[in-house]
Structure 1
Amino acid sequence: MRSICLTLPTNRPCPDTIAALGAEAAYAADHFGVEVHLLVLDSCPPPVHAAHAEAVRRLPAHPRITAHHLDEAAQRDFLARVTAHSGSAKPDLLLDLMLPDGLSYGACTDRAFLIAAALGCESVHRRDSDSRYQSLDGATVFPVHHELLSLGRRAADALPDVTESALPVSLLDRPVAMVGSSFVGELSVDVGRIRDADPGAYHDVVSLWAPEHWSAERKRELVEESFRGAGTAPFEADHSLLALVDPMRVDMCNIAFHGDTVSERVPLPPARDTIGSDYFLIHLVHDARLPGVLHNRNIVNYHTGERRTGRGFLAYQMRFAKFLLSMLHFHFVYDRMAEAGDTLLDGHGRARPLAVAALARESTGLDLAENARRLDALDTAYRRLGGPYADVAGLLAGRRERLLDEARDDMADFALLTEAWEGLVAAARTTPLVLTPGRPQ
């Protein structure tokens, strides 16, 4: 029986989201006959973790659904055993990259990839805790519907189950590596208040994630498109497109990857405290010319309060600044991947990790002057905004050299993890998720 991993990484209270995820798991099991491993990776403090455990316990029993609720101690135990058996000369470093002392959007999903391998799952389907599903005529609209129709199938065989295709005929023998959609509601990045307060400052800030050499017009178009997802229109009817999916059209709160083709081959960048670090595989799938399906079962995005006041505000804005700095290196890698195209794949149509790692490592040699200018522009815009944004500018100024170094070092860490990834996945496949008393490691 086909097994899938439906996962929710979280560091905030979300019992309602867990209940909704349980309903999506039941939909997948009942409509597609799959075995679902519902995986909650919980980085919350004990009281919140306890509320989540209760939400998991309340999920209706189903013969083809197994729920796994792991706090960071349980995750660390599993990862320690995996890294120890991976054959790597640096198991402790790999463990720190995958479960760092700090927030990492990429690392939390990498943990899901490895746990899915340990559980024998063919695919990983990710959702976020600050989002919810749409409904139509009282029925919840679950993205897993389109994901299970196509993911992992030969693209030619998936054709009858999509609305239309824009995939070149020459690629129809390749497997569908990714199925995804976007979101409706609030901007995916919490910068809407900048836009409302000062549209000029918003343009100056958001345009910083473009390559510096882009024209003013191209940057303006990027700003207009950025972080908007699918807008605000509610779901009315299904539509799906088989294509080389534009990375700007999908979001990591609404995504599924085929393990053997993508997520068991290349990890996500484990950068700490950097939003957007988990979007890399979307670009890899596109640039390697792997088929994907873009559907319209968009998830509703919203922002939780901790991002908007006090320490939470400062922390989030610092993560946004690190995202802008990371783009110097990511744009280099994306451009080279686009040039490499089919050579990013092996003879079986699977992503080649060493090809990706080499590009990531090469990007660490870039001149950091462009990023220094990014920080200058961000400082100017934030001081112009004033108030709490001026406080962010002060923090950025105080950490300037460290931030420049971290953006570069994060890519070196990504290259290291990518080089070790196949060994980690192989080790995970033979590592029990939780040790039972009396069972040898």
Structure 2
Amino acid sequence: MYGTVKTPPAIKPTTGRAAAMTDDEYAAWREEQTTGALSVLGYAAGTAFHLAANPHLIDVFRLYAAQFSHYNLRNKLRLFGQDPRATRVQGDKWWLREGRQVVEGAAPLWVDALYTGKRTKEVTDKRTGETEQVEAQYRAVVPQQVYDITQTVPVPDTKGRGCMVCTTPAGEPCPPYCGIYLSERGRIPSRMQVLLEIFDVLKEYGGVDVEGTLAQLGPDAYEEGDQVDGTTLELIKVTMSNGRKTTRRVHVTGPDDKGRIRYAVLKVGVFWISLDELAYDQNRRGTSVRVQYGDDPEPGDEHRWAMNHGEKARPYAPVINGVTLAGYGVANADEADDPGFWVSVGRPGRYGTGRVPDKTEKAARQIVAQLVKLWRERPDLDKVRAAHDRFHAPHRLANHEHEAEKMRALAEEYGAKLLDAQEKAAAQRALLAAEKAAEDDENAAAAV
């Protein structure tokens, strides 16, 4: 085995969290930690040796490593050695906060994690010789079990709903096309960074020829700062019904073919944000946006009309303070930073959306304002606008052509009316001119 393996002591400590365990629990935990320690050490070295012997795989590893921005390169080497197909890796508690749980019997992956805690130790006063129990903080790097997203299933939310990304029922595995499996967007490490990490892992065994390997690899297809495409995870603040503020994770996907961005706010619901299709001339400045509460109904859904008009809630509509939202709202994206940000918020009603309680309305606007800011700050906003315009271009063209045809018909109608009026005016003008000429003749004859 490469390097030194740090394992828990054979004798159970009398302080710390191990002290609260039974002998059997401590033995099981020690065995688990020893397995983890061997794994994190062995997989890092094994992967480093493999990449050093096969330099053509270094660029493959770089793309893999870019998916895990929350881990250091050493842990990325460990993950690559255990599951080169992994896309999103976290601990079981993190997955619960994400609205998912690890399936029973899933084999863990191992990484090193920084653990901070408190423990009690005896301190002796050198002057008096007296001892006292002192609580001190400590930090340690320990093996940690983590799991890939494919080893999890959605857990039900307060409404019993499952995955907010693909709408798979709780407890069932999401289909392969579910956006939850998309890797996170991340920066690609340089070849030099990877090779220096490999050298550090293998330095006890001669390291690796960094310069020679770089020369062997040839031109780099990726520039500094390049990223892998993927989903984005954001955090927003949410005010609970009791007034307490908390954070909610947001799974962002899109744009779709309509130029819309989907924001699945965990434990809340789904919001779609797009340019306001009814004010697209104004949208050349990108100010007016449309916020849809919930996902689109299925094409054959008998309640589709009612959902689109706010009489029924859409699938996965946001639930805030126990109130399910419906319909959609229009907001000014430039005002998302203002305390007075406004967007219409409603619940299912008999003839369209109905009013919601003031607290719910305020909380909803707070959420929408943060999502609109995320939308507004997207680096690909020009592409989003272009996709929106492409989707709406056919019916906009039809509307403009219909309007132009109406204008042509009106032009022909008013052109005929104009000609008729001009002819009638000319006739009256001629009549008046004849009368004036006759009057002049009479006046001239009288003068003679």
Give the TM-score of the pair, scaled to structure 1: 0.25
Structure with greater Cα Rg = 2
Hey, which of these two has a bigger chunk of helix by percent? 1
Q: Which has the higher strand share?
A: 2
Q: Which has the higher contact order (CA 8 A, sep 6+)?
A: 1
